Amino acid sequence: MNNEQKDFLGVTRMPPDRSSVPENGSEPNQPTSNETGFIDEKQLLTKLPISRRTLGNWKAKGFLPYIKIGRRCLYDWASVHDALLRRQRGGQR
């Protein structure tokens, strides 16, 4: 597991940025019940601490679920979050 994945999954935590905490008080980058629909690559990259290249590699290896409509790849944030948690090794699940 690289540092980016550890940071995302909460193995090492930086102080939370309160501007990104949803109003319902849940943790940042966690899917909430009112997050529905799909997000594009740019929006996904703002939620994950990874590069565009890493995202492309993960898509190619089948690590992340996505839907391709025309030239656009769209992601369901809850499905992406679940996929990352399934790949988590060690620690709490």
Q: What is the pLDDT of residue 14?
A: 47
Summarised one tens digit per residue, pLDDT across range 51-80 is 999 999 999 999 999 999 999 999 999 999
Instruction: Report the CATH number of the 3-29+36-87 domain.
Output: 1.10.10
What is the domain partition of the chain in residue ranges?
Answer: 3-29+36-87
Alpha helices in 10-73 (DSSP H): 41-47, 52-61
pLDDT of residue 37: 83
Give 39-58 pLDDT, tens digit per residue: 999 999 999 999 999 999 99
Secondary structure class of 17 (helix, strand, coil): coil
Mean pLDDT of 19-24: 51
pTM exceeds 0.85: no
